[in-house]
Amino acid sequence: MSASLAGAVDLSGLKQRAEAASQQQAAGGGQQAGAPPRAGGAVIDVTESSFQSDVVERSMEQLVVVDLWAEWCGPCKQLGPLLDKLANEANGAWVLAKVDVDANPRIAQLFGAQSIPTVVAIAGGQPVDAFSGALPEPEIRKWLTSLLDTLRDKLPGIKAAEEAGGQVEAEVEEQEDPRFTEAEAAFERGDFAEAEAAYQRILAEEPANAEAKAALNQVRFAARTDSIDPAVIETSNADPADPKAAMSAADVEVAHQRPEEAFARLIAAIRVNAGETRDELRNHLVELFELFDPADERVSKARRDLASALF
């Protein structure tokens, strides 16, 4: 925890105030003025009177992340929507409890918060970690992941939420997209033109669909290599500068799971050609790169070799 939040934090003071408020409400025969009803959902607004039930008691089952904020706080307005988004994505593994420190100063005092925004993780009725300031999303995700990993066997709500989320993901995966089914069927029966058209229709509707883009590259490659005579490798070996032979031979080598040989062949041809021919060879090599994971070390090495050949 941060230095300002280190050590034990006694939450009993707010519990006593909440109990007193409940007694006052009962004596008055109605809801206390200004006290909101018990909140629910992934994001809840918390006051001093609801802190015991909405934070302390809830934290016995699931992780509760308390966001100390104020309307006048600029960084709070950056952090708040991000925390809201992450809480709604968590499928109940944790809940976000938002506390307006102007309306509820005792909660901020309780945690010894020296600045806002301050975010405090509560588990088992006690603070377990905290940070201050509007951190970037990757750091907050890493922080939350670490907390959930640590607390998974201690808070039953975390494991239950993860199991429910896994079931939902499995159900989503089982629901096949008929557009992809059509394209895959065409590819399997060797109708490359229809498969390409099907993937292009998907991209017309969803230009950023990465799965369709990758599949379209594979279809075009399969169509291109379907009619190539493997003997073109010998032709290219006999004349490494021949661009057409080099491109066809590289396609055959990639199709036969020898991408390193294919990349080296095209780079060698790029070194000895110029102008439009060189550009054609480079474009062909880049198309082959797109058939692989960008993190593939063979692709990374070939990209470095390509840069050396060009410059």
Sign of CA dihedral 206, 208, 210, 213: positive
Per residue of the chain (311 residues), give pLDDT as tens: 433 343 334 444 444 544 554 454 444 444 333 333 334 478 999 999 999 999 999 999 899 999 999 999 999 999 999 999 999 988 888 999 999 999 999 999 988 888 899 999 999 999 999 999 988 898 999 999 999 999 988 888 887 777 765 443 444 455 568 888 888 899 888 899 999 999 999 999 999 888 899 899 889 998 988 889 999 999 999 999 999 999 999 999 999 989 999 999 999 999 999 999 999 999 999 999 988 888 889 999 999 999 999 88
120 with 237, same domain: the answer is: no
Considering the domain architecture, whether residues 31 and 158 belong to the same structural domain is answered as: yes
- Per the CB < 8 A criterion, the answer to whether 263 and 302 are in contact is yes
The whole domain housing 278 covers: 232-310
Identify whether residues 36 and 78 lie together within a single domain: yes
| Catalytic, out of 73, 161, 262, 270 | 73
Q: Are residues 221 and 271 in the same domain?
A: no
Do 244 and 295 fall within a single domain? Answer: yes
| Residue at a domain's end among 206, 225, 244 | 225
Query: Could you give the strand order of the β-sheet that contains 118-123, starting from the edge strand earlier in sequence?
Result: 43-45, 94-100, 63-69, 118-123, 126-132
Please indicate whether residue 76 is annotated as part of the active site: yes
Same domain, 111 and 239: no
pTM of the model: 0.46
Same domain, residue pair 147 and 14: yes
Q: Which H/E stretch holds residue 122?
A: strand 118-123
CATH number for position 115: 3.40.30.10
Are 113 and 236 found together in one domain?
no
Q: Are residues 138 and 193 in the same domain?
A: no
- The pair of three-digit structure tokens given for residue 210, joined into one six-digit string: 């990465």
Judgement on whether residues 46 and 160 belong to the same structural domain of the protein: yes
The count of domains in the chain is 3
Shared domain for 241 and 202, answered yes or no, is no
The whole-number pLDDT of residue 25 equals 45
CATH of the domain at 244: 1.25.40
The 10 Å Cβ neighbour count of residue 127 is: 21
User: Are 163 and 208 found together in one domain?
Assistant: no
Backbone angles phi, psi at 158, to 5 degrees: -70, -50
Catalytic residue among 46, 63, 76, 99: 76
